Amino acid sequence: MSKIIASLDIGSSKICVVIGRQSQYDGNKLEVLGKGEATSDGVSRGVIVNIDKTALSIKQALQAAEEDSGINVNVVHVNISGRHVTSTAHYGSITRDSIEQEITVTDIHTLTHDIHRMVMPLGMEIIHTIPQEYTIDYEIATQDPVGMTGVKLEANFHVITAKTHVIQSIHKCIKKAGIAAEFTMASALATSLAVLSDEEKEAGVCLIDIGASIINIVLFFDSIVRYTATIPLGGNHITADVQQSFMILERQAELLKTKFGNITAEAFDTQAIVTIPGLRNRSPKEVLTTNLAKVIQARMEEIATFIQEEILRSGFYEKLIAGMVITGGGSNLKGAQGLFKAITGLDVRLGVADEYLEEGSGKKLKDPMYATAIGLALAGFKTLDYREAYYKTKESTYWDHSRQNKKQTKKGSFSFKQIINKTKAFLADDYEET
């Protein structure tokens, strides 16, 4: 029986808990056992701004998931997001003792561990170190140097950092909710586990996770994370535009956007009217759907332009054979895929987690807004970097082999010692006779 996995997605609009386990029929899929969610009070732009309110929301979502699954949870996988989550490129190297000895998984871990010991800017912590290419003795470049020989092992790393006080706030909230965090993962990386295929990652793909107040970007090429970025825009900004344009309440603007928001070509040809109840003793307001489409399209074009600039900045635009995958709550807007394709020039599809969910899992979880929560749960048995799984296998084989050799050596040493003692006794007896 697979171990129980619980994920906690702390978002700006909602907090979601998913309880599941690795499918016994397909090791790449998640069997969902329960789900719970609550309104996200105390979170703004992906960052916790009120510990008590956020802790209460976490507790509500957790209790709902526990009731749904009948399982009590003590440990969760949690995400981290916000503008403070940034990435930089770093170089690392180690010098090995012998050119004849093969490079091992231990050497890879040593090199990666050295990156974690780098001095970070005050108030920042490393949350992910993702190796790009390795170089052996200044000549041989490879993505996987294990088994090769050389003295000088170097590598470039994509390092993702976050503010220490934000990480501490997350752990405080979780502790107040009566649980602990097994590990913390950047939202975009967690989402990628749920919606991207291995073929897309190898070919080159850009994932766009459109949340309530921020947009997370992660770019893969040759199955390796190459670039990450955050844009301080999201679905709430579209809601605010609708609210201000038609002078209505925020909840009315959100409902108007989600129910009637449409930026496809047909939306501009249809002259439909939506009637919105007025405030006390005030007459209702009428909104033309074409005007609503214009307001939404203006903000979506701005978002798409910012995304295009980030992709060009990455230097991988020409290598995105698999194009773009959009996910998150903001990706549900009708016409979003067409608009992104028109502005970026890339093929675009909607990213949902159905590929990695076992049959029978709740249909609602296949909505893009749950991609991060599903990805965090999948992280319990699915690796972000294909090399990680390979290294775990190699490391396990190495330790099994080492233990076997140790047993054999110990047995051999005992036999050899007996022979020496017998020889000494024989020589002593022979000496006494003479």
Supply the pLDDT for residue 407.
46
User: Using one digit for the tens of pLDDT, what is the confidence trace for 164-197?
Assistant: 999 999 999 999 999 999 999 999 999 999 999 9
HSE, CB side, 13 Å, CA atoms: give it for residue 243.
13
Domain 86-162 and domain 195-351 have a common topology: no
Q: Tell me if 343 sits within 8 A of 308, measured CB to CB.
A: yes
Distance CA 84, CA 47 (A): 9
Supply the pLDDT for residue 362.
67
Supply the pLDDT for residue 401.
45
State which residues of the chain have pLDDT below 70: 1, 362, 394-434
Tell me which residue of 216, 200, 192, 240 sits closest to 306, measured CA to CA.
216
Please count the helices (runs of H) and the strands (runs of E) in the chain. 11, 18
The full set of domain ranges for the chain reads 86-162, 195-351
Supply the pLDDT for residue 217.
97
Supply the pLDDT for residue 363.
72
Burial of residue 195 (CB within 10 Å: 0-12, 13-18, 19+) is buried
Supply the pLDDT for residue 390.
76
Supply the pLDDT for residue 396.
52
pTM above 0.85, yes or no: yes
DSSP 151: S
User: Using one digit for the tens of pLDDT, what is the confidence trace for 356-410?
Assistant: 999 877 677 889 999 999 999 999 999 998 888 778 776 554 444 444 444 444 4
| Domain spanning 195-351, CATH class | alpha beta
Task: Please list the residues that pair with 38 across neighbouring strands.
Answer: 15
Q: Tell me if 188 sits within 8 A of 228, measured CB to CB.
A: yes
Supply the pLDDT for residue 1.
66
Please tell me the CATH code under which domain 86-162 is placed.
3.30.1490.110
Distance CA 102, CA 150 (A): 7
Distance CA 182, CA 29 (A): 20
